[in-house]
Structure 1
Amino acid sequence: MNAHWSSKKSNFFRKNIKLLTKYLFFESQGIPDKVDIVSRLKTYGYSISGVETDDGYKALVRAFQLHFRQKNYDGIMDAETAAILYALLEKYFPGK
């Protein structure tokens, strides 16, 4: 891992402790399944049409990443992307 990137990531998480907690949870326990991720993206307002295919799901994740995590928008759901999604839902859609 690049030392500069690692330092930036560390500073970001220090400012966002809830996000760090979620990131560490997903890193250790694994990310939620596709059905849960799609449901949460829909709750946040993303269109879920086309997610039945792998390419459609990847495009949906990529769209979310382009908006909230521009440093890596490969369309692959990872711990950081999941943590961002869950933190946003907790903040803007509590109880859902």
Structure 2
Amino acid sequence: LSPVQLHVSDRSSVTDKSSNPESPHSGFSGHGKIESTKQTETRRITHISAEQKRRFNIKLGFDTLHNLVTTLSSQPSIKISKATTLQKTAEYISKMQQE
């Protein structure tokens, strides 16, 4: 329909084929929904796994810093926040650079 025909015709009779997932013109079918759900689930699981790996690597990095910095490793049983670990690490590096 041209813009003029669209304006003249009854708008309620004009349907958007892309809004109907069952429409043969939409590119989707009922079977496609199942595949899409499987893809979504796979992406979700992959995302969760990547996030767990990221958090594990961050924890490993902080544990390594905790063990390397002498002021932190002298108190292994005390739980130190990540912010404190970073502050103490920066102080330790500054001290080492001055020596």
Q: Which category describes the TM-score, using the shorter chain as reference length?
A: 0.3 to 0.5
TM-score, length of structure 1 as denominator length: 0.32
Q: Which has the higher contact order (CA 8 A, sep 6+)?
A: 1
Rg comparison, structure with higher value = 2
TM-score, length of structure 2 as denominator length: 0.31
